[in-house]
């Protein structure tokens, strides 16, 4: 499986996202982290988590995918805690990892970095949103808030990889079956202005429907085209399942 990757620093001075993609005979692992704690410590957290996660995942090649992902997350959390203890500081990162192989998709995530599936002209978020935004959206569905009001209230994280106990972890015990033509997108929340909307724009639909070119680069370019003065770092990994 091919994976395409694109990043943009947004209107920030530094890139605090980190990622890695690894191809194996039986499948593909992709990891995206969005660091927190200022430019120095956010980058430290995300890079530390990505490296530790992949190293731990590869250390147990014969285990089940579900168990390997869980153990890799624990290793990443421990590594981030050790890194900040050494630095005498505090910070953290979101973490989203997927493994695609054998016609199924596994994932594990902490935080708000979204995992999307494009299928039959629909963009579906697969993983949980561990931010307060998901709580506010319950009020939207109940008719007590508008979508715009919910977004304006921010989305502070309820769970993150910091070295401490991770309050919320999304790790399904069974994999998600894939269909030919499915498009998988891992991203950081810098993509939210484009993708986290009640109704997708024609521009976004065209990006996913157009099969030629680099999906990740097109998503990032569309984020840039919004010209938001508050644009966050954005990282996108795109994969197509065509088996």
* Tens-place pLDDT, residues 19-60: 999 999 999 999 999 999 776 799 999 999 999 999 999 998
Q: What percent of the chain stands above pLDDT 90?
A: 80
User: Cα torsion at 96, 101, 102, 104 (round to 10°)?
Assistant: 20
**Token pair recorded at residue 45:** 């957290």
Window from 34-38, 49-53, 92-96, 112-116 with minimum mean pLDDT: 34-38
Q: Which helix (H) or strand (E) holds 34?
A: strand 27-36
- Going by C-alpha positions, the residue among 32, 35, 166 that lies closest to residue 110 is 166
pLDDT digits (tens, 9 = 90+) for 220-238: 999 999 999 999 999 999 9
Helix (H, G, I), strand (E, B) or coil at 6: strand
**Token pair recorded at residue 149:** 């009001």
Does residue 170 register a pLDDT over 70?
yes
Does residue 163 register a pLDDT over 90?
yes
Does residue 139 register a pLDDT over 80?
no
Q: Could you give the residue ranges of the DSSP H alpha helices within 122-234?
A: 132-141, 147-152, 192-195, 202-209, 215-225
pLDDT digits (tens, 9 = 90+) for 200-214: 999 999 999 999 999
Does residue 155 register a pLDDT over 80?
no
Number of domains in the chain: 1
* Helices vs strands, H then E, count in the chain: 7, 11
| Angstrom distance (rounded) from CA 35 to CA 15 | 9
| Angstrom distance (rounded) from CA 119 to CA 133 | 25
Range of the domain at 71: 3-241
Does residue 76 register a pLDDT over 80?
yes
Q: How far from each other are the two terminal CA atoms of the chain, in whole angstroms?
A: 9
Range 92-105 average pLDDT: 97
Does residue 150 register a pLDDT over 60?
no
The number of beta carbons lying within 10 Å of the beta carbon of residue 26 is 10
> What CATH number is given to the structural domain containing 96?
3.60.40.10
pLDDT value of residue 145: 66
pLDDT value of residue 117: 98
Range 160-181 average pLDDT: 97
Buried-exposed string 53-79: b where 16+ CB fall within 10 A, e elsewhere: bbebbeeeeeeebbebbbbbbbbbbeb
Are the CB atoms for 77 and 93 separated by under 8 Å? Answer: no
Say what the pTM is.
0.93
pLDDT band at 138 (very low <50, low <70, confident <90, very high): confident
Helices 215-225 & 202-209 angle (0-180, nearest 10): 160
pLDDT band at 167 (very low <50, low <70, confident <90, very high): very high
| Angstrom distance (rounded) from CA 31 to CA 29 | 7
């Amino acid at each position: 499986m091919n994976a395409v990757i694109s990043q943009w620093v947004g209107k920030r001075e530094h890139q605090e996202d980190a990622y890695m993609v690894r191809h194996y005979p039986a499948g593909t692992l992709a990891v995206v982290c969005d660091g927190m704690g200022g430019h120095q410590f956010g980058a430290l957290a995300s890079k530390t988590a990505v490296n530790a996660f992949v190293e731990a995942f590869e250390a147990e090649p014969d285990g089940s995918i579900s168990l390997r992902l869980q153990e890799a997350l624990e290793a990443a959390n421990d590594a981030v805690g050790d890194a900040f203890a050494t630095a005498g500081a505090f910070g953290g990162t979101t973490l989203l990892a997927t493994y695609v192989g054998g016609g199924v998709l596994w994932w594990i995530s902490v935080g708000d970095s979204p995992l999307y599936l494009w299928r039959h002209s629909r963009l579906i978020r697969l993983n949980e949103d561990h931010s307060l935004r998901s709580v506010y959206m319950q009020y939207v569905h109940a008719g007590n808030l508008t979508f715009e009001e919910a977004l304006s209230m921010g989305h502070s994280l309820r769970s993150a990889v910091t070295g401490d106990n991770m309050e919320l972890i999304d790790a399904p015990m069974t994999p998600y079956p894939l269909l030919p033509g499915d498009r998988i997108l891992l991203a950081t929340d810098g993509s939210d202005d484009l993708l986290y909307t009640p109704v997708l724009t024609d521009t976004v639909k065209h990006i996913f429907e157009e099969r030629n070119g680099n999906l990740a680069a097109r998503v990032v370019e569309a984020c840039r085209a919004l010209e938001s003065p508050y644009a966050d770092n954005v990282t996108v990994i795109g994969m197509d399942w065509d088996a």
